[in-house]
Amino acid sequence: MTMARLSITKVLAGALLALACSGCVTDAERRAADEARCRNYGFRGQSEGLANCLLQIDLDRSAALRYRMDTAFGPPWPYSGYYGRRW
């Protein structure tokens, strides 16, 4: 009984570790994915359009993170509308 419980614990720990590591993306991988996305939009080389596309993707990612952090525990307090005064 103890060995079975121990092996189940090891399997669960391994599965959780694999799940946690599967979501990890390095900065280089994120940059490559962003560049591929912009190149699929038609931007080529080291152009200003490619730089603007990469900047827009980064700004969108920052805005999404900011939104998730602001709404993680419900609406901001005191809540007075989406764009209303917060304090």
Mean of the per-residue pLDDT values of the chain: 82
- Alpha carbon distance 72, 69 (integer Å): 5
Q: Where along the chain do its domains lie?
A: 27-72
Question: At residue 12, does pLDDT exceed 70?
Answer: yes
Question: Could you tell me the pLDDT band of residue 54, with boundaries at 50, 70 and 90?
Answer: very high
Place of tokens 């200003």: 48
Instruction: For residue 17, give both structure tokens.
Output: 């570790």
pLDDT of the residue at 76:
60
Question: At residue 34, does pLDDT exceed 90?
Answer: yes
Contact yes or no for 56/38 (Cβ under 8 A): no
Contact yes or no for 70/76 (Cβ under 8 A): yes
In this predicted model, which residue has the larger pLDDT, 60 or 14?
A: 60
